[in-house]
Structure formats: structure tokens, C-alpha cells
Structure 1
Amino acid sequence: MHVVGRQTRESTAKGEAPPTGRLGRYLARDDSTGAPVGIDLDHPHAGLVVGKRGAGKSHTLGVLAEAAARARGVAPVVVDPIGAFGGLTADAGGGRNGDGTEPVPARVVERPTIRADAIPATDWPELVGLDPESGPGALVWDAASSAPTLSGMLQQVESLEAPREHQRAARNHLGRARDWDVFDQDGLTASELFGPEATVLSLAGADDAATSAVVAAVARLLYDARTGDEGDRPPRLPWLFVDEAHVAVDGVAGAALRTLLTRGRTPGVSLLLATQRPSALPAVAASQADLLVAHRLTSGADIDALAAASPTYLTGTLRERLPSGQGEALIVDDATESTHSVRIRERHTPHGGHTPRASGLTASPPDAGRETDRCVGPNEDV
């Protein structure tokens, strides 16, 4: 099996094969599949999974999360803004494809919370939608510098000397953040994220700013845990999976994610971003990614954004190499400076990102005698 992200055949100190995930199979030009393709889970990686809506990017992220959850020495954390990954906790003994796959060790954290001081004071004005150089923004900045909790910030705003209108504006914007219900003094800790199971952070329905705040806090927790004193470092390497990544990078999580992209390799922190809008990501995301999994794209801006960072070893243009079928992917592997056309394997656990269809719903029949729309056959009169 060819393993993307790994330069040579390697083994562990005990002579075992290093952690590897099953990704799919090679795809031939006639759409037939060939030898299996795996992904390296032994080394840290920065990766992008891209594709237009419905092309399979969330499915692929789920496949990668399944593999990481089963790997030795890996601590996967999945940011789930659309409810696509709750199925990771389903008992998949026997596997959906009948291959005897082991269950995926995973847990779902519904409505995850973070400590307010997990967000730097300098980022609080932006988080609540204020200009840091404005009166209310400066007030929020000062309050966040002095108080470790959101309730403490609100009290601090009242006690600081400032015009009443500035206090009122700052209080209103902090009140909006309180309504997100993501800030708690007993919020997520690093030890929870480095547990024996994959952690799925369910943020379906959360405000975009709240999602970005959680991603920022989690990214910093993972990075700080791996850069602390050597004796205190967790014995597992974290992999952070972020679906709909364009939402997170557009807010306060942008700086924390850039840190993982540019400096995560040394402490062993991996980051995989999935998006249908690669043009909305900062240029550093494409330039720093050593793994690219590209599904079908049709937006010129998105294709151009990826093409700008295309390596010289990519034969032909990126536009020419992009796949057209659902579940098909072009993999650009910078570790081996190679490209591969692959069909991504089926999920072993249920995928929650399928688009609902009217034909798949059970509904009561229409009232008798009422005229209804129906599909007209090719030989029927309208």
C-alpha cells in the first residue's frame, strides 16, 4: 500500500508498522480502482481538504478522523459545525463494508464551552464586533485584560471610568457573547482533548463568531500542551480537524490556526482544514500544506487560489487534474513530491453530512381530490 505523507518505508522501535490510515484506492482513467492508498499518521502534517458543495470533502474528513481515532499515539479533535461527525461514536464493529473494522473510539461534546481567558484580551474587541481603537472596543480590551471570566468583564466595564455611552455599547456587545453560551469557567481543558478517544466538538447551530472562538481556544490548548515542559507534555500527538474552515479563519481563530500551520510541526501538532471555499482561506494555508486532498471545484477563484500554490512537480495544470466525480480526489503529497488520483473509501461509521432528499422522507399522502404536482413520464401528456 502506498502511504501519502511518508517518504520511505518505516517501522517503529519495536519493528511494528507506524500508524497508518486507509484512505482509498488508486483511480484509473477508466474509473476502475487499483491498489490501496493510505495516509501517514505517524508524523505531524498540515493539510487541506477542498471541494465544492456535495463533492465529498466532509466525507473525506470523516474518513481521516476515523483513521486517526484508531491510530496509536494520536489524539484527534474534530470541530463539527454542521453535525456531520456525530456518527463517529456509532458502534461500527464489522464495518459498513463488511471488512471487520474495529469500532472507532470517539465521544461527542455537545455545546462545548471554553474559558473566557482562553481568548487573548487583544482579540476580544474583534470577537464581539468592535473596533479595538474605538471607545467601546478599548473598554472591552481593558476589561478582558483584568477579568478572567465573562461576568467579571461585564462588572469591570461598569467600574472603569468611561463615558456612559461607551460603557453601554461595551456591555451590549459582551452581552451578545454571553448569549452564545460557549464561555464557562469550567470550559475545555487540554487533558480532556488528549484523552483516549477522538473528541468531536458539536457546534451545529452556533454563531460563526462563537465557533471561531472555540476553534481559537482549542488550537491554543493543543499547541501550548505540546510546547510546555517536556515532562508535562501529553504522550499523544494531536490532530485538529476543522470542517467549514473558512468560517473559523475569518474570525479570532485565524491567528491560532496560522500558528499551527507555520509552527505546529516541531511540537507535533497536525491541522487539517476542510472547506468549499479555498479562496477564503489565507494564502499561508495552501502554501504551508504538505497534503492537499482536492475534490471537484468549479469556482474560478477557488481553483486560482490553489493553483497559486501548486508545486512544480504537478504535471499539467491544477484545473486539468481536478476530478469530476463525487468521492474522487486529487492528492498532492509534498513529502514525496507526487500526485495521486484516488477514490476515497466508504465511511465505516455513519456520515451525518448527507443532503436530505424529498424522496427519502416518509410523508402523509396528499388530501384526496387535491391536485398535486408529480413527475411526468416521457410519453405522457402534460
Structure 2
Amino acid sequence: MVFDVIIGRSKKDVEKFGKEGTIILGKQYVQMGQTTSLSNPVYMDVAGAHVMFIVGKRGSGKSYSLGAIAEGISDLPLEIKQNLSILLLDTMGIYWTMKYPNFQDADMVRSWGFEPKPLDVKIYTPGGFYALYRNEGIPTDFPFSIRPLDVAPEDWCISFELAVNSAEGVLLTRVVQELNKKGTSYDLNEIIRLVKEDTESDLVSQHIVSSQFEKARGWGIFSKEGTPLKDIVAGGQVTVLDLSPYATMASGWAIKALVVGLVARSLFQQRMLARKTEEFKTVDAAMHYFTKSVEEKMEDPLVWLALDEAHELLPNGSKTAATDALITILREGRQPGISLILASQQPAKIHT
């Protein structure tokens, strides 16, 4: 007998809401004698906050599954999806293809009852690569940048592979903290200038730190203004943050981890603030907003954050600039309404 499998929803909620606010993930393999077939549809609740771990060998469909989840959220009724946003942190540069119909697998898509179609994906590319991508016809919609003001001294040290308590780490921390005290945004040139003018450090330390910030200038992702979080995380929007320009760059994963960490931390802070101001009376209403008797659009949507190659960003036994922010969401993301999807082919290397 075929029946629906709904992941992430209690029996009580299934009885109350049915499949409303869910997306289809696939079908369950059922073996009967010598025959193995696809039978029970498997759905996932996306109106609540969850942590999801997708594991499989190379080429098994992990990245495809992340795209399918994004498409499922995009296809939800307006009254539900207007209060949800999904952000794909694309470390390998593959999700731009969702802008186009999947004619390559058209027969398979139709066998599931769907038609190949383009998805309204908003692609953000690091500002230093945006013009190049546009000129070469590589799909991108908007430039993306982050403010140096938002990077903590420890995150700079991790990204530059400098010990926090070393002479260079102390110099970096002192300069960044002095700039932060002013309460106004600044660019990398200002950091470099103050490092070179510092009177409490030796010339070697100044040279090492200033050289690291000169290198960071070449990453093409820092600006004094930065990209507002509300632009990339909007209700009903599927956003791809393309970090693939760093795939072949020296310290590429350190750069990606820095960006992921900043985005994750900012999302958590935004949702914690929003959670305090939203007109919810119970946690159930907050996690299942669409069930309220009067449908309204939230100012700050509930967020799904999706990461591929997660073992590189949240490694077991070491720390990246993304580690603390991702662990915070893993442990505390449910209440503010942040869901996290981690995909990896090496689960043993994931932080536990």
C-alpha cells in the first residue's frame, strides 16, 4: 500500500496540516521479493526550522538534491513561500544552471510528473569578478561584497593563518579594534594605512600584516558599503551566492569560509532580532507561520541555508572562519527560524 512519508513533521502536525508547507524529495525504495521499485512519496517540511545532512559518494546527486529543495520551495503557494527564503552558498559554481530548463534530463523530469522549466534564481557574484562575468556572458545578476567592519579580528587571523597571540595577530587585532571603535565603515586601504603607521609593532610584523591585507584586496569581495543582507535573503526568493571564483585561488577555502561565516552570523543576528519583534504568540506559530488565520508577509523571512562540500567549511578537528557561526545555527537556529542543509561526500570529516 502506497502512503506518504513526511520528514520533519510530527504525527500531530501531519494530522493538522497534512502536506501543506512541504516539498517532495523523492520516493522510497520498496523491495517486494526480487523486485525493487519506487513507491512511497517522501516529503519534507519546510515551514519549520530543521537541520538536514545529505551524504553520498561523488556523483550520487547531493548537489542535485540541494537544487531540488530550492526548486520545491520556489514552487510553494505564495502565502507560504513569501515567508521563506533559501540561500545556496555555491562553492563550485554549479547552481547558475537552475536559470535554464533541464532539457538534458527531460524524460526523467517528466517521469516524475514535472516539466523542465527555468527557475527565477538571483545570482550574486563577488564584486571584483562581476564585470568580468558579465562581459564573458557568465550568468550573474548582482555584485556581492562584505564590509571589513563586519569581520572580527579572529576571523582575519584564521583566514591569514596568523596566530591571534603572535606579534602579527596582536597588531592586526589592535588596528581593527581601533577602527571599529569609530563606529563607521571603512575599507581595506584604511586598515593597511594604520598597520603601516602603528608605533607599537616592529617593521617585520607590519610588513606581514599589511601584505596579507594587500592580498585580501585581490579577493575582490570587500567594500566600504557591503551588500545589505535583505537583498540576498528576501521572502520567496532563491538566491545563489557564487563563491566559485575562489575555487583555484590560493587559500580559496579560507576565503569561502570567511564569507560563509559572515553570512551565517549576520543571518542569525537578523533572525534573532526579527524573532523578538514578530507578532507571534507561540513557537508553533513562529515555525508554521502559514497556518495563522490571517496570512501576512513577514518583514524578515525564515531562512534555509544550503552548503555543499560542508566538510571543508565545518571540519572535524580544526577550525575555519565559518565554524563558530555554523555551529551556532546547528545548535540554536531552530528558535529564530534558520534551517541548515549540509552536504558532503566525507561525513567523517564533519565537525561533530
Q: Work out whether the TM-score is over 0.5.
A: yes
Do residues 5 (structure 1) and 8 (structure 2) align? yes
Counterpart residue number, 2:64: 59
Q: Which moved more, 1:50-59 or 1:228-237?
A: 228-237
TM-score (normalised: structure 1): 0.68
Do residues 157 (structure 1) and 189 (structure 2) align? no
Deviations 1:269-306 (CA, angstroms, capped at 9, x unpaired): 111111112122111xxxxxxxxxxxxxxxxxxxxxxx
How do 1:171-182 residues align onto structure 2 when only pairs under 5 Å count?
A: 171-182=210-221
For residue 257 of structure 1, what is the amino acid of its counterpart? Answer: L
How do 1:273-288 residues align onto structure 2 when only pairs under 5 Å count?
A: 273-283=342-352
Give 3-state SS (helix, strand or coil) of 1:247's partner.
helix
For residue 70 of structure 1, what is the amino acid of its counterpart? Answer: D
Counterpart residue number, 1:110: 125
For residue 152 of structure 1, what is the amino acid of its counterpart? Answer: E
286, 300, 305: which one aligns with 1:240: 305
For residue 106 of structure 1, what is the amino acid of its counterpart? Answer: V
Separation (CA, whole Å) in 1 of partners of 2:210 and 2:330: 35
Q: Point out the structure with max Rg over C-alpha.
A: 1
Counterpart residue number, 2:85: 75
The verdict on how the C-alpha distance between 1:114 and 1:12 changes in structure 2, with shifts beyond 3 A counting, is farther
Do residues 213 (structure 1) and 246 (structure 2) align? no
Question: 8 Å contact 1:244–1:275 — kept in the other structure?
Answer: yes
Separation (CA, whole Å) in 2 of partners of 1:77 and 1:67: 13
Do residues 222 (structure 1) and 224 (structure 2) align? no
For residue 340 of structure 2, what is the amino acid of its counterpart? Answer: L
Structure having the larger proportion of residues in helix: 2
User: How far apart are 1:141 and its partner, in Å?
Assistant: 1.5
Give 3-state SS (helix, strand or coil) of 2:336's partner.
coil
Counterpart residue number, 1:260: 329
Separation (CA, whole Å) in 1 of partners of 2:5 and 2:28: 9
Q: Which moved more, 1:32-41 or 1:107-116?
A: 107-116
For residue 122 of structure 2, what is the amino acid of its counterpart? Answer: R
Give 3-state SS (helix, strand or coil) of 1:24's partner.
strand
Separation (CA, whole Å) in 1 of partners of 2:165 and 2:40: 58
The verdict on how the C-alpha distance between 1:140 and 1:263 changes in structure 2, with shifts beyond 3 A counting, is same
Q: Which runs of 5+ in 1 are unaligned?
A: 284-382
Separation (CA, whole Å) in 1 of partners of 2:75 and 2:226: 26
Do residues 199 (structure 1) and 268 (structure 2) align? no
Separation (CA, whole Å) in 1 of partners of 2:95 and 2:302: 21
Separation (CA, whole Å) in 1 of partners of 2:29 and 2:330: 30
CA-based RMSD:
2.4
For residue 277 of structure 1, what is the amino acid of its counterpart? Answer: Q
Q: Which runs of 5+ in 2 are unaligned?
A: 127-143, 180-185, 247-251, 279-297
Question: 8 Å contact 1:248–1:254 — kept in the other structure?
Answer: yes
Q: May I ask how many residue pairs the two structures share in their alignment?
A: 281
For residue 134 of structure 1, what is the amino acid of its counterpart? Answer: S
Separation (CA, whole Å) in 2 of partners of 1:113 and 1:277: 30
Question: 8 Å contact 1:119–1:216 — kept in the other structure?
Answer: no
Deviations 1:221-276 (CA, angstroms, capped at 9, x unpaired): 21111111544773410000011112222520010000100010110111111111
Counterpart residue number, 1:38: 43
User: How far apart are 1:17 and its partner, in Å?
Assistant: 4.9
For residue 52 of structure 1, what is the amino acid of its counterpart? Answer: K
For residue 166 of structure 1, what is the amino acid of its counterpart? Answer: S
Separation (CA, whole Å) in 1 of partners of 2:221 and 2:261: 12
Give 3-state SS (helix, strand or coil) of 1:28's partner.
strand
Separation (CA, whole Å) in 1 of partners of 2:299 and 2:151: 22
Separation (CA, whole Å) in 1 of partners of 2:14 and 2:54: 27
Counterpart residue number, 1:89: 99
Separation (CA, whole Å) in 2 of partners of 1:6 and 1:87: 31
Do residues 184 (structure 1) and 223 (structure 2) align? yes
Q: Name the % identity.
A: 27
User: How far apart are 1:118 and its partner, in Å?
Assistant: 2.2
For residue 19 of structure 1, what is the amino acid of its counterpart? Answer: G
Q: Which moved more, 1:122-131 or 1:42-51?
A: 122-131
Separation (CA, whole Å) in 1 of partners of 2:24 and 2:89: 21
Query: Following TM superposition, where does structure 1 have runs of at least 4 consecutive aligned residues deviating by more than 4 angstroms?
Result: 100-103
Separation (CA, whole Å) in 1 of partners of 2:162 and 2:218: 17
Separation (CA, whole Å) in 1 of partners of 2:231 and 2:165: 36
The verdict on how the C-alpha distance between 1:270 and 1:159 changes in structure 2, with shifts beyond 3 A counting, is same
User: How far apart are 1:88 and its partner, in Å?
Assistant: 2.1
Separation (CA, whole Å) in 1 of partners of 2:75 and 2:189: 40
Separation (CA, whole Å) in 2 of partners of 1:41 and 1:197: 14
User: How far apart are 1:187 and its partner, in Å?
Assistant: 2.3
Question: 8 Å contact 1:113–1:214 — kept in the other structure?
Answer: no
29, 40, 57: which one aligns with 1:27: 29
Do residues 48 (structure 1) and 53 (structure 2) align? yes
